[in-house]
Amino acid sequence: MKLKARGPSPFSFSPLESFLRFLMASTEAPTRDLDDLLCSSPHQEQNGESNTSSTEAGGIDDGSASLALCLSGASRIERAWEHWTKLGGPKRIVAPMVDNSELPFRMLCRKYGAEAAYTPMLHSRIFTESEKYRNEEFTTCKEDRPLFVQFCANDPDILLEAARRVEPYCDYVDINLGCPQRIARRGYYGAFLMDNLPLVKSLVEKLSSSLNVPVSCKIRLFPKIEDTLNYARMLEEAGCSLVAVHGRTRDEKDQKKIRADWAAIRAVKTALKIPVLANGNIRHLQDVESCLKETGCDGVLSADSLLDNPALFAGFWNAEWVVESNEGHRDGELDQTDIFIDYLKMCEKYPVPWRMIRSHTHKMLGDWFKNHPQVREELNAQSTLSFEYLYEMVDKLRAFGKRIPLYVMNSSVVEVDENGIKIAA
């Protein structure tokens, strides 16, 4: 069944009408295993529960004139900084997450303090070949800026073809050079391209010499810091305008057990002349401030912690980190059911496949499900979902009477901004 966003679209078509019409097409979402999707033909039959992806990219100009202006300058480094400054130098950024940093979640995080965001990783080959994949996996709107659109790739020409489809609707085209999962090994992309630096260089050079938008790269550390620094310098010389550094190596996958190396990130920042972002160890807003100070970076990415607490950048803490903190905290008069309701409203406005909504339901309401496992079991028993079911599920959780609040530091002042959003400053 296809679901449409409620209410009229607030956006008008841009001059690139034909491109926008394919972006606004509604399709059924795939439920195939992600490994199969990324490593096999995209033309195979796909079945499963979904809603429509209804991208509304209208109202965004094609970017040529403005980007030509912001990318003018005496040198590549100057152009990189001109662009970053024009975007406002965002500090609090939503990291790319497969099936999790989709448009409704990005907009939810922006509502609660995020200043920029990445799309989920998109597979460049499938993106060029499958209209269905494009319609479902890349959606945006005019408020969804600044935006990094991230691709995995191992072929410069295919990557360029994919990038040209999205460059009018983003501020950076990002190359995923950091994915350490087995799917990346099988598909030969992400962190496994660290074994083939000439190929990496050719990917960056192809995009940087051909696009109107800057190219960024998200990387991991080599075991030896000098190898990491040489790697980062190579990316800069190839035309990369921004590097985001995940402070772990390719083999360090357990983020709960292995802390990100902020000292190594600082070394990369010191070695490069372009903007550098830090990724790793961001659990709450205090970590954001500490990371910026210790690494000297220009912004910070958060991933898993935002899934549990999308209000992280607004200064709200979940109970897990409050227990570990030496600071005093109080009830922030906001909880994850409040945020989840906001998320559902975003999904009604910006439809996405139900598999994404289901995933976020488990993440955002995980603490509530621990107290009421029968509600989680009922959710898992649903072969298809509806907004009506999810709203009723939230009412049921609240009716049990044991609220699980998000917290703010005692020193924080909770203010309500012009949009009615609570911000702990």
Q: Which burial class, exposed, middle or buried, applies to 424 when counting CB atoms under 10 A from its CB (0-12, 13-18, 19+)?
A: buried
Contact between 284 and 313 under an 8 Å Cβ cutoff? The reply is no
DSSP state letters, 223-249: SSHHHHHHHHHHHHHHT-SEEEEEEEE
Query: How far, in Å, CA of 210 to CA of 33, rounded?
Result: 34
Q: Which residues are catalytic?
A: 179
d(CA 280, CA 314): 18
CA nearest 279: which of 315, 256, 304? 304
Give residues with Cβ within 8 angstroms of 105, minimum separation 6.
94, 310, 343, 346, 356, 360
Instruction: Find all residues with CB under 8 Å of 57, minimum gap 6, and list them.
Output: 11, 14, 20, 23, 24, 139, 140, 141, 142, 169
Per the CB < 8 A criterion, the answer to whether 336 and 368 are in contact is yes
Cis geometry, peptide bond prior to residue 146 (ω within 30 degrees of 0): yes
Distance between CA atoms of residues 264 and 276, nearest Å? 12
Would you call 328 helix, strand, or coil by DSSP?
A: coil
| Residue 140 backbone dihedrals phi, psi, to 5 degrees | -155, 175
